[in-house]
Amino acid sequence: MMNFMKTTMLLAALTALFMVLGYSLGGSGGAIIALLVAAGMNLFTYWNADKIVLKMHKAVEVDASSHPEFYNMVRNLAQRAQLPMPKVYIVDQAQPNAFATGRDPEHSAVAATTGLLKMLNHDEIEGVMAHELGHVKNRDTLIMTMVATIAGAVSMLANFGLFFRDRNAGIAGLMAVLIAPFAAMIVQMAISRTREFGADAAAAQISGKPLSLAAALGKISGVAARTPNPVAERNPAAAQLYIVPGGVRQMFSTHPATEDRIAALEAMAQGGGSGGWSSRSDEIGDMGRLRKPSALDPMG
């Protein structure tokens, strides 16, 4: 409940920021227009978030026939999480990453890149997909897409304002145009970082293997930072959708530090808060036996 209230307040702050920017560019009429635009964007995003994100990534839907092991893994995890079966997608991209999208659990989708499927072993992929289903279970997917949409609109409106703002707006108007994108980024970061910890905790419960997710985060975070992501480069607001950020300095990252996430998962394993994996040594033993290239062929 506390996270829900915090997210609601931050989302309201982001919308208010959009209105303030509109006011700085066009007075009270500009604020009203900005509010109507924000409402329209949120409504459009509510119905089309999954389509927008999947099309942006040129994601290809897979099923039990084309990618049986990956699809069945997601199905088993969804059953454990007591979630409806999401649509499952693969993105042909070298950066090892994954994301979830959709307006609610009944209209959700999860996706993994070919880079991630090639890099991780079975248990690690399972941990990653459990994290994405954790976002679905916590109903983060719509919120994160809405936040990315509004934050992107704030930046776009600010860029527009630099060239077409009312010259009579003065210093205050100029400051609003310059500061708004940074303020939007800070709000976006605050929302996303809170939700990443929540999805990690949910993944530990769903998969029962918090150290598998910890191992996956350790493997992919450094590689993701060094591997280009064309989608995120074109639309930086999309960075918060992924399980790990890529090519972003920690100060400006929408995610908590990977080291902090791994430490939290290790604490869950030691404390028994992992849905059945109460012993860290037990999991390390199993992971050692399973530490081999992924058996999931991303190209079918």
State the catalytic residues: 132
Closest C-alpha to 220, from 115, 297, 89, 132: 115
φ, ψ dihedrals at 279, nearest 5° = -120, 120
φ, ψ dihedrals at 199, nearest 5° = -70, -35
Cβ–Cβ < 8 Å for 228, 170: no
**Dist CA 187 CA 268 (whole Å):** 28
Q: How many CB atoms lie within 10 A of CB 135?
A: 27
Q: SS3 string of 101-150?
A: EECCHHHEEEEEEHHHHHHCCHHHHHHHHHHHHHHHHCCHHHHHHHHHHH
